[in-house]
């Protein structure tokens, strides 16, 4: 049965980095000449990479698919645990139901998250719920959605797209 197979094939790939070399060490080893670094109060809202959250935010992949952030709780995305509902659509806008992977990354810091996202697929709405989207640190986070179709996550994704958000302290 296709739908239950799809549910079973929904799992998580990537995005997990237990070793976090640069994480939380902004001030460590800073000399007096570096005292201006690591100012935790600087906002990333003006970072050109980040999106302003709205419901039904679309990001296009480079292979014709659209990844829709249907809703986020809390909204806008915030520090620590988030729950996201996403949909993957083909070029006609038809929802797709195959395997999805999620990666969480802080591109400026080179680390992922400690709590891996769990993905569940709801066949009634053709949406995937990702919970938690665990963004534990203030700054720019990249949330990458990889769509694998009927293939497993060992294959190359059919398409992928990333959402970037500024998470406030």
Q: At its nearest, how many Å lie between Cu ion and the CB of residue 100?
A: 24
Cα(first)–Cα(last) distance of the chain, in Å?
45
Closest by Cα among 164, 149, 4 to 69:
164
Please give the distance of CA 85 from its chain centroid, rounded to a whole number.
11
Q: How far apart are CA 165 and CA 52, in angstroms?
A: 7
Closer Cβ to Cu ion, 6 or 137, answer by number:
137
**Which CB, 7 or 23, lies closer to Cu ion?**
23
Q: Is the CB of 108 or the CB of 153 nearer to Cu ion?
A: 108
Q: How far is the CB of 109 from Cu ion (least distance, A)?
A: 3
Determine the length of the chain. Answer: 169
Q: Can you give the binding site for Cu ion, defined by CB under 5 A?
A: 106, 109, 137
Q: Pairing state of beta strands 119-122 and 99-105? A: unpaired
State how far Cα 63 lies from the chain centre.
Answer: 19
Q: Minimum CB separation from Cu ion for residue 103, in Å? A: 15
Q: For residues 106 and 145, which CB has a smaller minimum distance to Cu ion in the complex?
A: 106
Of residues 89 and 111, the one with the C-beta less far from Cu ion:
111
- Please give the torsion angle defined by the CA atoms of residues 86, 90, 96 and 99, in that order, rounded to the nearest 10 degrees: -80
- Shortest distance, CB of residue 50 to Cu ion, whole angstroms? 14
Work out how close the CB of 49 gets to Cu ion at its nearest, in angstroms, rounded to a whole number. 14
């Amino acid at each position: 049965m296709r739908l239950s197979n799809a549910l079973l094939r929904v799992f998580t790939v990537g995005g997990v980095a237990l070793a976090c070399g640069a994480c939380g060490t902004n001030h460590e080893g800073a000399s007096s000449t570096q005292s201006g670094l690591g100012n935790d109060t600087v906002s990333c809202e003006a970072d050109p990479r980040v999106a302003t959250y709205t419901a039904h935010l679309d990001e296009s992949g480079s292979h014709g698919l659209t990844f829709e952030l249907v809703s986020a709780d809390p909204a806008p995305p915030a520090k620590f645990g988030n729950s996201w509902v996403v949909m993957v659509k083909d070029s006609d806008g038809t929802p797709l139901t195959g395997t999805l992977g999620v990666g969480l990354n802080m591109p400026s810091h080179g680390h992922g998250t400690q709590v891996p996202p769990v993905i569940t697929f709801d066949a009634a709405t053709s949406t995937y719920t990702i919970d938690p989207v665990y963004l534990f640190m203030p700054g720019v986070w990249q949330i990458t959605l990889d769509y694998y179709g009927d293939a497993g996550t060992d294959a190359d994704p059919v398409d992928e797209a990333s959402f970037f958000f500024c998470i406030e302290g």
